[in-house]
């Protein structure tokens, strides 16, 4: 069975590519010119590479031929409008282009990466465009499955490693607001296995799965756990959300600024779900947060 995979050079995509190969799937990766080195180890294992961009439907023509399923992982967490990198283009238009191309080339199976909190009247463009992409998938007539993961952690992640880096260097962590908002981080391995197992599961077709880890805790507690694993007691500095939002808006144009106003808005929401449906459906053993980060911090 051959899988057409987008986002294979990303944090989650790299793991899904690995698990697809381990489960003996043939994989064709859509990548941009210059990104080949990120999947170099898999070239000798039979991975096909085609060049294109999901925001350019013409670049997709003919590239999905002979594939049995599409896994779409493309997504961004911040926009760079001057470079044409927007939530609308990547999340919605890109997904629509892939769906149309899959339909024209006779592919029936489509698996979509969305996000926990996606909804029609979300507080951010990120949430709204993720939901609109879901709706396009649901109305496509294809055999779809949609996954909505929470914050994903694992080797090479930008989230946990960011705070771990701060603890190593300055031993204090800035926290937006009171830090009592709840989060439910999920291990990359768990997310990846859900995608892979869903490919041939008929009872996963037409379903949307919310994906969170086995624990729900306050943001403050997450910082404490990172400190425990690193044997570095964290000093948390609570910064008013209004001040952080002002700073984020002021410095949003700087790519290295660590957080955007949209990210602050979503962080302040309780980002949790009923994770048991996902783990029970796919018979996956959940990896706890402390157990998971202890493997790479």
pTM (predicted TM-score): 0.95
**pLDDT for the residue numbered 2:** 97
* Percentage of residues in the chain having pLDDT higher than 90: 87
Which structural domains are found in the chain, ordered by start?
A: 2-152+187-212+272-285 (3.40.50.720)
The 3-class secondary structure across the chain, one letter per residue, is CEEEEECCCCHHHHHHHHHHHHCCCEEEEEECCCCHHHHHHHHCCCCEEEECCCCCHHHHCCCCCCCCEEEECCCCCCCEHHHCECHHHHHHHHHHHHHHHHHHCCCCEEEEECCCCCCCCCCCHHHHHHHHHHHHHHCCCCEEEEEEECCEECCCCCCHHHHHHHHHHCCEEEEECCCCCEECCEEHHHHHHHHHHHCCCHHHCCEEEEECCCCCEEHHHHHHHHHHHHCCCCEEEEECHHHHHHHHHHCCCCCCCCCCHHHHHHHCCCCCCCCHHHHHHCCCCCCCHHHHHCCCC
Q: Could you tell me which of 27, 24, 23 has the C-alpha nearest to residue 2?
A: 27
For residue range 20-31, list pLDDT tens digits in order.
Answer: 999 999 999 999
For residue range 94-148, list pLDDT tens digits in order.
Answer: 999 999 999 999 999 999 999 999 999 999 999 999 999 999 999 999 999 999 9
Residue 191, exposed/middle/buried by CB under 10 A (0-12, 13-18, 19+)?
A: buried
Question: Residue 44 — pLDDT band, cuts 50, 70, 90?
Answer: confident
**pLDDT for the residue numbered 59:** 95
Question: Residue 71 — pLDDT band, cuts 50, 70, 90?
Answer: very high
Rg for the chain, CA atoms, rounded? 19
**pLDDT for the residue numbered 254:** 79
Position 61 pLDDT exceeds 80: yes
**pLDDT for the residue numbered 9:** 92
Task: Name the phi and psi angles at 178, rounded to 5.
Answer: -85, -10
Question: Residue 41 — pLDDT band, cuts 50, 70, 90?
Answer: confident
Position 195 pLDDT exceeds 90: yes
Give 50's strand partners: 30
Question: Residue 251 — pLDDT band, cuts 50, 70, 90?
Answer: confident
Average pLDDT over residues 53-62: 95
Position 191 pLDDT exceeds 90: yes
Q: Which of 115 and 170 is assigned the larger pLDDT?
A: 115
Q: Could you tell me which of 24, 33, 102, 100 has the C-alpha nearest to residue 70?
A: 102
Question: Residue 249 — pLDDT band, cuts 50, 70, 90?
Answer: confident
Contact 136, 198 (CB under 8 A): no
**Within its chain, how far is the Cα of 75 from the centroid?**
7
């Amino acid at each position: 069975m051959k899988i057409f995979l987008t986002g294979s050079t990303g944090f989650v995509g790299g793991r899904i590519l690995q698990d697809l190969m381990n489960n003996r799937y043939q994989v064709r990766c859509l990548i941009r010119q210059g990104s080949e080195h990120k999947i170099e180890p898999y070239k000798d294992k039979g991975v096909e590479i085609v060049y294109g961009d999901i925001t350019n439907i013409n670049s997709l023509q003919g590239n999905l031929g002979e594939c049995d399923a599409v896994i779409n992982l493309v997504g961004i967490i911040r926009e760079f409008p001057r470079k044409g990198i927007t939530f609308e283009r990547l999340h919605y238009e890109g997904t629509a282009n892939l769906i149309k191309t899959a339909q024209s080339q006779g592919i029936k199976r489509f698996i979509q990466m969305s996000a926990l909190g996606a909804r029609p009247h979300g507080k951010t463009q990120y949430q709204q465009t993720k939901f609109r992409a879901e709706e396009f998938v649901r109305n496509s007539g294809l055999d779809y499955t949609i996954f909505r993961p929470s914050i994903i952690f694992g080797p090479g992640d930008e989230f946990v490693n960011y705070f771990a880096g701060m603890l190593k260097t300055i031993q204090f962590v800035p926290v937006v607001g009171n830090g009592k908002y709840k989060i439910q981080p999920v291990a990359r391995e768990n997310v990846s296995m859900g995608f892979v197992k869903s490919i041939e599961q008929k009872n996963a077709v037409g379903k949307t799965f919310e994906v969170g880890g086995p624990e729900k805790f306050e943001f403050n507690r997450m910082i404490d756990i990172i400190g425990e694993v690193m044997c570095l007691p964290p000093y948390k500095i609570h910064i008013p959300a209004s001040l952080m939002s002002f700073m984020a808006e002021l410095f949003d144009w700087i790519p290295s600024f660590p957080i955007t106003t949209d990210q602050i808005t979503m962080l302040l929401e309780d980002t949790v779900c009923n994770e048991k449906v996902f783990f029970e459906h796919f018979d996956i053993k959940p990896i706890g947060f402390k157990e998971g980060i202890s493997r790479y911090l």
